[in-house]
Amino acid sequence: MIAVHLKELKFHAYHGLYAGEEKTGGPFEVSLSVWYEPSAPVMQLEQTINYVTLFEIVKQHMQQRSSLLETVAENICSNIYTTFSVIQKVELSIYKGSPPIEGFEGKTGITMIKTY
């Protein structure tokens, strides 16, 4: 099995439930791993999962405002599987930097794991 990784992608996005988040947005970080079993030795790009395409899928969904990170993650995973039906597993983490929580320093986030 082969895993393709995109780690610590940085975005400015507008996800969140709290007042003002839809206007100011904030920093987000995304890490993604996608596993698949190649049917033959991988010798050409067409035989693998193209990480440029994976990045474009993540970027597209990070630009679409959502109240919940779980919704964003579900949409990204679904789109990846639709694009690359050979995948067997997706692990996606989305972290929100500077969440609007008084006195909070750090980041919040979710991890979604899907098996197909």
Q: What is the pLDDT of residues 5-16, one digit of tens each?
A: 999 999 999 998
Report the CATH number at residue 63.
3.30.1130.10
What is the domain extent for residue 36?
Answer: 2-115
Backbone angles phi, psi at 68, to 5 degrees: -120, 135
* Domain count within the chain: 1
> pLDDT (tens digit, 9 = 90+) per residue, 32-58?
999 999 988 888 777 889 999 999 999
Global pTM value: 0.91
Instruction: Give the pLDDT confidence score for residue 88 in this predicted structure.
Output: 97
